[in-house]
Homo-oligomer: A and B are copies of this chain.
Amino acid sequence: MANVRGGDLSRLRQLNALAAIRALREAGPLTLTALAERTGLSRPSTKEVVDELTGLGWVEEVPPNPGTMGRPARRYRFRADCGHLVGVDIGGHNIRAALSDLDGEILAETRQPVRPDDPLEERLAAIERAVSGCLALSGRAASDLWLVAAGTTGVVSPEGRVQFSAAIPAWIGLDLAGELARMFPCEVLVENDSRLAALAEARRGAARGARDVVFLHVGRRMGTGLIIDGKVHRGFGAAAGEIVMLPEARWYDAPDHLNTCAVVPPGTPEEDAAGFTLAAARDGDPAALAAVGRYVDDLAVGTAAMVLLLDPQVVVLGGGFSRSADVLLGPLRERLERACLRTPEVRASALGDECVVMGAIDYAVDHLDRHLFTPDAGPSLPLPQPAGR
C-alpha cells in the first residue's frame, strides 16, 4: 500500500489518518492522549491510527530524553523526511535550487550561473545540474522527490507555460511545466518568481506572520507578488501582479532615473549603472540623491495604487536594488504616508537572493498540505513510497 489515501484503508480510517498527520505536522511530537484530544478521536482509535502510520513509515516514535526518570508517555512525530521537496529559482543570471524535507527544512542548496541570452537547452541543463547537485549534497535520489516547485521570471500561464519574459527572451512560449515534468519523476509546479518571493517573505522573512503582503521586486526590472489572506494570489488567468504594464503607475521606466544619473561613469554597462547612483546617494551626493528621489517618486505611484487597493499589513522591498534598502525605504515610506489612507509597514527583504528558492519550497509545502493532507481537497498526488523504511 503506497499511500494514505490508497485502496485498503476504509474512508473513515483514511480521514482519521489524515487528521492525525495534520495534527502532528502542526503541533510537533504528541503523546497519544494529546493527539486524541487534537483530533477528536477516541484513544483506542488514535492508537490504531498511529500504529498503522508507523508501519507505513509516516510516523515514528520520538526517543525519550536520556535523563528522563520513570516511564514517560511515548511521543510520536510526523516523519518529515519520508519524502523530499525541491525548489528552483530560474533567473536571468542564476539558477538556484534547494532541497528540503516535507516540513520545508532546507537540507541542501546549489547555484548555477547562466546568462540571459543562453540558449534554451543550456538553461534547462543548468536546472537539471542544480537539482542533481542538491540530491548529491543531501545523499538523496530523484525517486525521493515528491514535488518540484519552480519560480521563473516572466508571466506564467495556469498550465505552467511561459507567456512572456523580458529577462529571458528564449523562455517565451516555453512549456516549462512540461520540460520539468520530463526531467523529474514527480509532480511539478511552476509559478512566477515574485509571487514565490512574496510567499517566502510572508512565511519566514520580513513579513513573517502577516496575512496580506505586497512584495516589490525592485531592480532593473520591476515586478510584484501578492499574498492575500495568507495565500499566493495568482488571479483567474494567473496574470496577477503586472501593474508594471500600466504607464500611469510609472514603474516601467522608473529605473532610468538611476541609470542616467551624472554620477554613473561613462561606459558603465546598463546593468551596473544603478548601483553607482545608489552608492553615491548613500554617501550623500546631491545629484544621486535627487535621482533617487525621482526614482522613488515613480516607485511610490504604483506602490500607492497597490496599498490603497489592498491595504496590506506589510510592503516588502526585494530585488536587486533592495541591497540599497537603507537609501530607499525612508523616502518610500514618506511618500506612501502622503498618498495612502493607512500606511503599511515598509521593510527590506530579509531573504535577499534566496527569497525565490525559499518561496518555491514554501509553495511546495503548502501544496502538500492542501492537496495531500486534507480530506476531499481534490485529486490526490501520485505519492511515492515513504522512504527509509
Listed in ascending order, the chain A residues whose CB lies under 8 Å from chain B are 11-12, 15, 40, 155, 164, 210-212, 224, 226, 228-229, 231, 233-243, 245-246, 248-250, 301, 304-306, 308-313, 339-342, 344
Contact A248 B245 (CB under 8 A): no
Contact A246 B305 (CB under 8 A): yes
Contact B229 A305 (CB under 8 A): no
The minimal Cβ–Cβ distance linking A337 to chain B, given in whole angstroms, is 13
Going nearest first, the 5 A-B pairs with the smallest beta carbon separation are A235-B311, A236-B313, A240-B311, A239-B311, A237-B342
The minimal Cβ–Cβ distance linking A225 to chain B, given in whole angstroms, is 11
Contact A246 B304 (CB under 8 A): yes
Q: List 28 A-B contacts (CB under 8 A).
A: A11-B40, A155-B341, A164-B341, A210-B236, A212-B235, A226-B310, A235-B310, A235-B342, A236-B311, A236-B342, A239-B308, A239-B341, A240-B310, A240-B311, A241-B309, A241-B311, A242-B308, A242-B311, A242-B341, A243-B308, A243-B309, A245-B339, A246-B304, A246-B339, A248-B250, A248-B301, A306-B309, A309-B309
The minimal Cβ–Cβ distance linking A5 to chain B, given in whole angstroms, is 14
Which of B231, B236, B340 lies in contact with A212, CB distance below 8 A? B236
Hey, which chain B residues are within 8 Å of A236, CB to CB?
210-212, 311-313, 342, 344
The minimal Cβ–Cβ distance linking A301 to chain B, given in whole angstroms, is 5
Whole-angstrom CA separation of A11 from B311 in the bound complex: 38
The minimal Cβ–Cβ distance linking A13 to chain B, given in whole angstroms, is 10
Copies of this chain, how many? Answer: 2
Closest B residue to A250 by beta carbon equals B248
Hey, which chain B residues are within 8 Å of A249, CB to CB?
248, 305
Hey, which chain B residues are within 8 Å of A306, CB to CB?
309
Contact A309 B12 (CB under 8 A): no
Closest B residue to A344 by beta carbon equals B236
Contact B246 A312 (CB under 8 A): no
Whole-angstrom CA separation of A301 from B15 in the bound complex: 49
Whole-angstrom CA separation of A246 from B307 in the bound complex: 10
The minimal Cβ–Cβ distance linking A44 to chain B, given in whole angstroms, is 13
Contact A233 B341 (CB under 8 A): no
Contact A341 B250 (CB under 8 A): no
Highest count of chain B CB atoms <10 Å: which of A249, A305, A306: A305
